[in-house]
Structure 1
Amino acid sequence: MGRVKFNGEQELEDFVFKNLDLHFSEYRIFIPEKKRIKTAGGKETLPDGILLDLEQEKVYLIENELKEHDVFSHIVPQIIKFLIAYKNNETKLKLRDIFVEEIKKNKERFMNIFEKYKDFDILDIHPKIEEFLNSELGLYIYIDGISEDLKNFCKILNDHIEEIWLIEVLKFEKDGKTFIMFNEDEEIGFYKSEAAPIKRKGKGTGENYVKIFKELLERFKTARPGVTDKRSRSTPHLGVPLGIGKFHVEWLFKGREPKKELEVGLHFEKNDGLINHLIFDFFKSKKSELEELFQTDEIIFEKHWYKNGIWSKIYIMKEIETLEDFLNNNELKDWAVDNLLKFFDFYKGYSDIVEIKIKA
């Protein structure tokens, strides 16, 4: 079986769009048509696809490329123009209306995912979709060959986009038949929380995150049945919703092996910094209760944590060295689950007060 070139970008794109299940949840809304979006200055651009993953509460831009296209004269300008257009409020309103229309046309399909939000009304979905559109953006680039220049561009772009994936797509021919597939050994992720790019497959990379979060989630769901339908993922962080959009408890792996660390904490990540900081201050006022609960005075309070200081979090941290070490250490896994449950239950004990403060 020999590797061959694609018959143009459309062939690669057709394969990608038919196989989105491999990279996104079933609760997704995909806009495959090349919808024109504009920068604030009126420049039009055509992204290959825009996808809202309701399980991840995130919008992803999808770009399909061929390696024969020059990184600096073709791929970089195109992606930069997409990102600038996405920042345009007119673009977000246009996308909001498209996503809302799709959800209302498929109410039964999407109701399960929205049940986690209190006081949610599918007939008044616009604010929730706007919240997702104003959150951190993700980018997937599907291409038939990943160059060092493209990797380096993504490293720089990662300062502005929280999650980027480079996915290699291969085409082969054998006995007159064509085979197209994703190269699982060349699926490279860039995260702001990671000191270096990760891969979905291979030791100490995305495959280990999948294994880790699968086991941690199973333990959490056993302890608190019916709380979440979250699935494992190949990313360095995973959150469990708390019933209010963008408030969640989270496991977050940071740093480079062999000095990797695990944060377990309570996150406030709305786009409204005033609300995040209000609720953060409320829980910080409970510092003595938290210290008694966790039996430590090393609880970390970060009011101006991320997204230009808008997001806040409260967490504890433990050095785990490597992901393999974590996978093979039941005490570390117990620590991760037990402390996430403590943050979860502590928040729930004050959830009524939180709702009153947000509405006030």
Structure 2
Amino acid sequence: MSLIGFRREEGEIEYLEEVEYSEEHLEDDLHEVIQSDPRLVMGTLTSRENSVLGSKMQLPTGKELDLLVCDEQGTLTTIEFKRDRSPRSAVTQLFDYASSLSRLTQEQFFELTNYESLDELYEAFDHEEDSEFDIGNFEKEFEDALESPQLMLVAYTITDDVRRMTRWLREAHDLKINCVEFDYYEKDDAEMFVPTIIGIEETQEIKEREESPKQKKYRRFHGELLERFNQKLPHVTGKSASSRNYLTLPTGDKDVELVWEFKGSPGEKELRVVMNFRYDDGERNKELLEKVLSTVEEGSLDIPEEIHSEDYGSSGYARFYITQGVGQLDDALEDEELKTWAVDRMVDFYEQLTPILDQDLGDSTSIQ
């Protein structure tokens, strides 16, 4: 029997016992859990925001696709659920769904989804006005993803034959297909889902081979920051480097995040160390931001740079940050002082700010 222990603030350790998910649940239960929050299976693959485009979508072939997810960069992921063990036929189903999607025009595609157009889908994500990634980039990524979407099989147990098949598809054919196996724990009215992504390293290698020169530079820079950060705070994060202009580190609360982020046009770039508040409640975001800013004014934080704060996005999000001028991205790659600054300040943010927010955010947990 496997147990997970957890402790509430100032409380005794409680235990959740692992049980067979399929004994008491239908396949629809697993479907509904992940549909309500795709981060449960997508969070290890990407730090990007995801939106559900359709659930149990009826394709032109008459087949029903369990779940279709799109991230803020336009990448599509088709998801098939099996509540217990994964049959080999599930892989064939994913191929069938992908081939059906690849034959659709944009107009035909959006007739099947929760969105009316590509523009509406793009606007569903919080793209900032000065973001390097505009709707033109989004449409290109989306068109590529429609031609060849990511595939994901989710089951309580991924069988050995399915593991072999999907590994061969990744290694021999560069197919972005992952399996998600999860352990399920429960006690009284508490449940815990612990997912394991199978094939994530191979999938990451495939994505890296597809990256542009600029994306590779971002990945290299973020990779160096992560390596140094992990040396200073080992066992804090399991994140991998990002090919975007930013890299997000969760803080233990899904709606508060730490970020390294490049902003500005080529030749005038700056690097920021950021804390974002992304609650659905805009007033809550302002409250937490004001709490941190008041602590800064009192001199309780040992952060020498000027702290900037602002609202952002269309959902009432808030953030504060410090910044350093960079110039060109190539300059950042060669600037050892900049990298040291970025890592040291991120460590300061983590060590000094998360304790201040613990009273509001509840128990601290490890960054994932």
Q: TM-score, normalised by structure 1?
A: 0.51
**Kept after mapping to 2: 8 A contact 1:207/1:234:** yes
**Kept after mapping to 2: 8 A contact 1:248/1:267:** yes
Instruction: Provide the residue aligned with 2:211 in structure 1.
Output: 201
Matched, 1:35 2:64: no
Matched, 1:238 2:259: no
5+ residue gaps, structure 2, are: 1-41, 79-97, 118-123, 128-132, 149-171, 177-208, 364-368
**Kept after mapping to 1: 8 A contact 2:110/2:116:** no
Matching residue's letter, 2:351:
D
Matching residue's letter, 2:355:
G
Cα offset, 1:220, TM superposition: 0.9
Instruction: Provide the residue aligned with 1:111 in structure 2.
Output: none
Which residues of 2 match residues 1-360 of structure 1 at below 5 A?
Answer: 25=44, 35-36=56-57, 50-51=68-69, 61-62=76-77, 74-76=105-107, 78-79=109-110, 82-84=113-115, 136=125, 154-155=136-137, 166=144, 181=174, 201-203=211-213, 205-289=214-298, 293-296=302-305, 298-302=306-310, 304-306=311-313, 308-355=314-361
**Kept after mapping to 2: 8 A contact 1:60/1:137:** no
Helix, strand or coil for the counterpart of 2:115? helix
5+ residue gaps, structure 1, are: 1-22, 38-44, 87-134, 139-150, 170-178, 184-198
Q: Distance in 2 between matches of 1:251 and 1:165?
A: 29
Q: Distance in 2 between matches of 1:318 and 1:165?
A: 36
Cα offset, 1:82, TM superposition: 2.3
Cα offset, 1:259, TM superposition: 1.7
Cα offset, 1:78, TM superposition: 2.2
Matching residue's letter, 2:343:
V
**Kept after mapping to 2: 8 A contact 1:247/1:269:** yes
Helix, strand or coil for the counterpart of 2:359? helix
Cα separation, partners in 2 of 1:239 and 1:152, compared to 1, 3 Å: closer
Q: Distance in 2 between matches of 1:47 and 1:255?
A: 40
Cα separation, partners in 2 of 1:294 and 1:235, compared to 1, 3 Å: same
CA deviation profile, 1:96-126 (whole Å, cap 9, x unmatched): xxxxxxxxxxxxxxxxxxxxxxxxxxxxxxx
Q: Distance in 1 between matches of 2:64 and 2:325?
A: 44
The percent of aligned pairs where both chains have the same amino acid is 23
Matching residue's letter, 1:321:
G
**Kept after mapping to 1: 8 A contact 2:239/2:249:** yes
Cα separation, partners in 2 of 1:217 and 1:314, compared to 1, 3 Å: same
Cα RMSD of the aligned pairs, angstroms, is 4.8
CA deviation profile, 1:128-149 (whole Å, cap 9, x unmatched): xxxxxxx9499xxxxxxxxxxx
